[in-house]
Amino acid sequence: MKKYYLAVDIGASSGRHILGTVKEGTILLEEIYRFENGMKPKQGKLCWDVESLFAEILEGMKQCKKLGKIPVSMGIDTWAVDFVLLNNEGEILGEAVGYRDDRTKGMDEEVYKTIPLTQLYERTGIQKQIFNTIYQLTAVKNKTPEHLKEAESFLMIPDYFHYLLTGVKKQEYTNATTTQLVSPVTGTWDYDLIQSLGLPQKLFGPLSMPGTLVGGLTKKVKEEVGFDCQVILPATHDTASAVMAVPVVPGASMEDMLYISSGTWSLMGTELLKADCSVQSMEANFTNEGGYDTRYRYLKNIMGLWMIQSVKKELSQKGEEYSFAQLCEMASKESISSLVDCNDTAFLAPESMITAVKEYCREKDLQVPNTPGEISAVIYNSLAVCYAQTVKELESITGKTYESIHVVGGGSNAEYLNQLTADFTERTVYAGPGEATAIGNLLAQMLANHEFNGLKQAREVVYQSFAVKEYKSLKQSE
């Protein structure tokens, strides 16, 4: 009898339910449900509609019952840094505010009154991003202190959904590290830092590793979806799950792996067994996020496909409908040489991404892109150049030479960008699998159920199970 595992993978723009099973040493996937997501304005804030998202989680679970494919376990992963505060009744205090909201403006300076940035990085190893949880919590403390005072629980978004499913509150490790409040030395909350920032220590309990059993479904949920199953923590930070699914050629080492988890964000880096919290690392803006099996995801956040996604949506609103493939095709025919800094805050949440790109080029005295093809070319080329710069930084810091780059996630399907990445980095690019986050989610559950004898074997099975496409740089091909 087949054992099914259910991954609920929720990204910033959509979510999906994917069933996985292992057959003859191969992982098989079946997407059974998909739904939309996005931040919505609410009382002057950009918020996540967590009630609607949980309803979608349940609807997808009902599909398992309809298909007669009941999972032995399930787990939920989402984006990082965002959270909810709960009162003693388990109700949300305020709103589930999203990371693109501007409530954190100026909160970095508030934090640095307590601890300078250099010391904060030395203690946590997490790169500064103005939307990190530490700045969001500081915003709550300064703007709505009553919520912090009344709060009995602090849960990251996937932890909250697991709580709604089981009635059990657990704080998962990989996502917790993105708060900038976890020590990479102890792997637990930095309580001295938390106390110095004036945050209630009671909100931060024991951290649970991926593979931990949360519990069974509540009676209410069982009655609604029509079955019971175990809820097992995946790496609840979607990037941590995606990195778990970076394929490894059987017999190859995991220690010299370079990856890009490519989606709304491009997360580019390698894995370390020990965090690098040096000044050099901080100045290069790398982060040491927790990964599966206490490995560190040493990476840089790059704006990623958010820019082209925004352009596509904006063009659609103007009545100009293009697929991503069409935008890539048009971009490949352009000769415009203008480049933008993909990590400039101008591109984080502009009212118009097209206008933001044009204004950046105008201010830098570069050729201003006008057509959809030119705008797309500027974005894709800028991303590839950013990847190339990041490779050089990684090699300088780690002292290693990386021969290839693994691109996983939805962006692995962007053939034009993959080829640009190979050309600009002069490295072989291996693209795939596209559903890396869901696969990584499933791997954590499968490892907990002893389907594989460790992470390396699981990654080798990923390589054998899914199509991986190879791209050579033009220089390599000569």
Q: What is the mean pLDDT of the chain?
A: 96
Residues 367-381 have a mean pLDDT of: 98
What digits encode the pLDDT tens for the residues 42-98?
989 999 999 999 999 999 999 999 999 999 999 999 999 999 999 999 999 999 999
| Confidence check: pLDDT of 264 > 90 | no
| Confidence check: pLDDT of 254 > 90 | no
Q: Which pLDDT value is given to residue 249?
A: 82
Active site residue 238: yes
What digits encode the pLDDT tens for the residues 217-240?
999 999 999 999 999 999 999 999
What interhelical angle do 436-448 and 455-465 show, nearest 10? Answer: 130
Single-letter code of the amino acid located at 83: F
With tokens 């965002």, the residue in question is 82
| Confidence check: pLDDT of 419 > 70 | yes
Share of the chain above pLDDT 70, in %: 99
| Confidence check: pLDDT of 256 > 90 | no
Point out the catalytic residue in the list 238, 276, 293, 341: 238
| Confidence check: pLDDT of 35 > 80 | yes
Which segments of the chain belong to CATH 3.30.420.40? 4-232, 237-478
Q: Which pLDDT value is given to residue 395?
A: 97
Share of the chain above pLDDT 90, in %: 93
pLDDT-derived band at 251, boundaries 50, 70, 90:
confident
Q: Which pLDDT value is given to residue 252?
A: 81
pLDDT-derived band at 263, boundaries 50, 70, 90:
confident
Q: Which pLDDT value is given to residue 1?
A: 77
Give burial (CB, 10 Å; 0-12/13-18/19+) of 406. buried
| Confidence check: pLDDT of 478 > 70 | no
CB atoms within 10 A of CB 127: 20
pLDDT-derived band at 477, boundaries 50, 70, 90:
low
| Confidence check: pLDDT of 38 > 80 | yes
Which CATH entry fits the domain spanning 237-478: 3.30.420.40, 3.90.1300.10, 3.40.50.2000, 3.40.50.720? 3.30.420.40
Q: Which pLDDT value is given to residue 161?
A: 98
Whether 121 contacts 111, CB under 8 Å: no
| Confidence check: pLDDT of 476 > 70 | no
| Confidence check: pLDDT of 255 > 90 | no
Whether 376 contacts 308, CB under 8 Å: yes
| Confidence check: pLDDT of 355 > 70 | yes
Q: According to CATH, what is the number of the domain 4-232?
A: 3.30.420.40
What digits encode the pLDDT tens for the residues 132-161?
999 999 999 999 999 999 999 999 999 999
| pTM for this model (two decimals) | 0.91
